[in-house]
């Protein structure tokens, strides 16, 4: 392997972090996740509570992001704050979000606003959530009101976060609300509804902001056959990849579902071409072996091979091998869209900060390799800025560059925050940075000195 001393990125490459409203704001008591917590479904037995206290004090962490030299921050809006009851709009909530966006821009940080990041109002869940007959109409009303109120401070929008995750977790696995298990039909219908909602939101945003950048954030779980020479392993791996990763991107790229699913999805043709960029959330890889005992998993047993890097496992964690090389593989996968690519999430649950510097260094190498191949990658948003409430795993999984004591709200930057800040400010990863913060990655990133 050739040796060199720096990975330099193009001018304007965006280094930032990603966050979500319920996990950060605190005090969200009118969405379906709050009801889920109150019903005792968080595997750690915890509740979100004050979270990171962003509703009152987000600007303190905006200052920290600015001091690190970050230039982008992804945050989501809490629909249940904005529309606490059907057709009732809370102007004070919109004013608070407007102030947050102003605060980011004052710090020279570009906001990427997500409209739906797993949460929506309790009243919407009560009438069927994604499967409500008028879900799309209600989502477009919400979208229109948001863009009208916030469009002077934001022109970069993410409609839906991880439609595959929220559908599968809510209707097949049952660890997200509404908590159904084995409802494949419901999962397909939910994801189809999200396709329709995304497409309609795309057009509504462009009606108000013709020059807006609109996309979605797709979670991609990398599946590899346990034995690449086994036709059965290869087949079940492909089935799992199609089943989990392919539905939404296929709809946006082609306007079509897999043919056998069309009776459940309706006409998806309006979704074709509805993205100005591709957002990819990329974390983990699993190896897949054929196993006839688990038809519910498409006959594929997922596992991590011994010796692979593993993040901290929460009580409900589905994370397996942490796989930053998936960044390059997925950049190649989505190159066919012909759109700019942003990695809208990548990170690791790692309270000790042992693995995170390695993840950051390897991610930078994968991004650089993609750029060298001529792939139009424009930015990387690390998950996450501060430790956050991690959905069904509660406070047991620590993703933050900055450690949080959720009881006192005290913060303590981890060493990875210093590494990421140096990378962002230099717009380059140097051998010296890796030597100081992630020495185990030095040879992998830079070759032999």
Q: pLDDT by residue (tens digit) across 219-248?
A: 999 999 999 999 999 999 999 999 999 999
pLDDT at position 448 is 65
Give residue 2's pLDDT.
Answer: 53
The answer to whether 150 and 101 are in contact (CB under 8 A) is yes
Categorize the per-residue pLDDT at 203 as very low, low, confident or very high, splitting at 50, 70 and 90: very high
Average per-residue pLDDT for the chain: 96
Mean pLDDT, range 338-344, rounded to an integer: 99
H or E element at residue 368 = helix 356-372
Residue-level pLDDT at 258: 82
Confidence label for 1 from pLDDT (cuts 50, 70 and 90): very low
Measured over the CA atoms of residue 86, residue 89, residue 90 and residue 93, the dihedral's sign is: positive
The pLDDT tens digits for 143-154 are: 999 999 999 999
pLDDT exceeds cutoff 90 at 449: no
Interior angle at CA 94, CA 93 and CA 99, nearest 5: 100
Averaged over 331-355, what is the pLDDT?
A: 98
Residue 216: pLDDT over 70? yes
Instruction: Look at residues 118, 142, 114 and name the one whose alpha carbon lies nearest to residue 18.
Output: 114
């Amino acid at each position: 392997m050739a040796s060199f001393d720096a990975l330099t990125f193009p001018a304007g490459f965006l280094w930032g972090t990603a966050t979500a409203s319920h996990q950060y704001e605190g005090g969200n008591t009118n969405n379906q996740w709050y009801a889920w917590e109150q019903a005792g479904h968080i595997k750690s037995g915890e509740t979100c509570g004050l979270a990171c206290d962003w509703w009152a004090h987000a600007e303190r962490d905006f200052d920290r992001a600015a001091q690190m030299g970050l230039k982008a921050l992804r945050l989501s809006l809490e629909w249940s704050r904005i529309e606490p009851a059907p057709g009732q709009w809370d102007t004070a909530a919109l004013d608070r979000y407007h102030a947050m966006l102003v605060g980011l821009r004052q710090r020279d940080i570009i906001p990427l606003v997500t409209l739906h990041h797993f949460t929506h109002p309790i009243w919407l869940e009560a009438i069927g959530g994604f499967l409500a007959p008028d879900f799309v109409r209600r989502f477009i009303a919400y979208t229109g009101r948001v863009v009208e109120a916030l469009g002077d401070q934001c022109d970069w929008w993410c409609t839906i976060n991880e439609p595959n995750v929220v559908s599968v977790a809510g209707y097949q696995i049952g660890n997200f609300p509404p908590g159904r298990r084995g409802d494949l039909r419901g999962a397909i219908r939910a994801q189809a509804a999200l396709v329709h909602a995304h497409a309609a939101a795309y057009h509504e945003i462009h009606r108000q902001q013709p020059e807006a950048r609109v996309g979605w954030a797709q979670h991609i779980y990398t599946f590899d056959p346990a034995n690449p020479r086994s036709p059965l392993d290869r087949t079940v791996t492909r089935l799992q990849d199609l089943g989990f990763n392919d539905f939404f991107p296929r709809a946006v790229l082609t306007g079509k579902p897999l043919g056998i699913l069309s009776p459940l999805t309706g006409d998806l043709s309006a979704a074709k071409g509805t993205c100005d960029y591709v957002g990819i959330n990329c974390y983990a890889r699993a190896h897949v072996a054929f196993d006839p005992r688990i038809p519910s998993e498409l006959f594929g047993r997922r596992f991590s091979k011994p010796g692979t890097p593993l993040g901290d496992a929460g009580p409900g964690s589905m994370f397996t091998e942490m796989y930053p090389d998936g960044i390059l593989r997925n950049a190649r996968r989505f190159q066919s869209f012909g759109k700019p690519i942003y990695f809208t999430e990548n990170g690791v649950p790692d309270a000790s900060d042992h693995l995170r510097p390695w993840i950051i260094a390897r991610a930078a190498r994968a991004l650089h390799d993609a750029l060298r191949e001529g792939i139009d990658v424009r930015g990387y948003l690390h998950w996450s800025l501060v430790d956050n409430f991690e959905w069904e795993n509660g406070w047991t999984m620590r993703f933050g560059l900055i450690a949080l004591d959720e009881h006192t709200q005290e913060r303590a930057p981890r060493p990875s925050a210093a590494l990421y800040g140096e990378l962002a400010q230099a717009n380059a990863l140097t051998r010296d940075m890796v030597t100081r913060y992630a020495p185990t990655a030095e040879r992998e990133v830079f070759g032999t000195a």
